[in-house]
Amino acid sequence: MANTKVPLCSWLWAAWLVVSSKGGHSAKELARQIGVTYETAFTMLHRLRHAMVSPDRTLLSGAVEVDESFFGPHGDSEQVTIVGAVEVRDRGPARCRFRVVDEADAESLKGFIREMIEPGSTVVTDGATMYKGLEGYRHEVQIAGKGYARKEVLPNYHIAVSNLRSWLQGTHHGAVSAKHLQAYLNEFCFRYNRRGNLAAAFQTLLGLVPKVGMLGYASLYGDSPPHLDLARKRLRA
């Protein structure tokens, strides 16, 4: 927030609007609310999303449902693959994590599990072969027609992913580029994991800003996706 042309009060207002609303804000709406240009609002939002991955966050634990999903027009070359993990508490979804992956192969999926889920936890997946041989975890497999109705397979993951799709379509009208999708996933998880107390999420976000530093303009507007590498670097630190 320091060394920017945007007043501190506008930064605080923007942070409050982003985390206190269940639907968040698009850059266009934020620009209208705080009286800045669209480009300024876009940059502010991405800098706030940059602070939404804590370097100290705890791993998911207990029973955790893991699966992959695809975003973008069906069959389109711009379609993006994500992998997600949803912690289950009291038979409902608790915390979640989502990551963009180049390919839903065994290396990427198992690597995601190791980085996001505490060893010894129960990892629940469908029957995809990529999860076979998962070491260090209890592995539970749910397959429709083999002891499970279709709606009973990974229900908490599908609830979270449905909410994610609704948010991207409703707030952002599906206009999220593949380059920046990870940033939106980070925002969704931050707010979803704190949905029981969105006001407290504001204090959490302000506390994270000095820990993670500022996302540089060159990184944000460069050719490579900035958010994915930064999130991985923090988790491995």
pLDDT at residue 55, rounded to an integer: 84
pLDDT band at 236, cuts 50/70/90?
very low
- Residue that wins the pLDDT comparison between 205 and 227: 205
Average pLDDT over every residue of 219-226:
67
Burial classification of residue 33, based on how many CB atoms lie within 10 Å of its CB (0-12 exposed, 13-18 middle, 19 or more buried)? middle
For 122-131, the CB contacts below 8 A with 24+ separation are 122/62, 122/63, 122/64, 123/64, 123/66, 124/63, 124/64, 124/65, 124/66, 124/88, 124/154, 125/65, 125/66, 125/67, 125/154, 126/67, 126/153, 126/154, 128/68, 130/104, 130/105, 130/106, 131/66, 131/106
Instruction: Name the residue type at position 163.
Output: N
Residue type for 151, please?
A: K
pLDDT at 30: 96
Q: Which domains does the chain have, with CATH numbers?
A: 8-56+181-236 (no CATH), 63-162 (3.30.420.10)
Dump pLDDT digits (tens) for 150-162. 899 999 999 999 9
Report the pLDDT averaged over residues 90-104.
93
Share of the chain above pLDDT 90, in %: 64
The pTM assigned to this predicted structure is 0.89
Do residues 84 and 98 make contact, with C-beta atoms less than 8 angstroms apart?
A: yes
**Would you state the pLDDT for residue 164?**
96
Q: Could you give the 3-state DSSP secondary structure of residue 69?
A: strand
Report, as an integer, the average pLDDT of 53-72: 93
pLDDT value at residue 198: 82
- Per-residue model confidence as pLDDT tens digits over 23-37: 889 999 999 999 999
pLDDT at 237 over 50: no
pLDDT value of position 213: 76
Distance in angstroms (rounded) separating the CA atoms of residues 68 and 34? 37
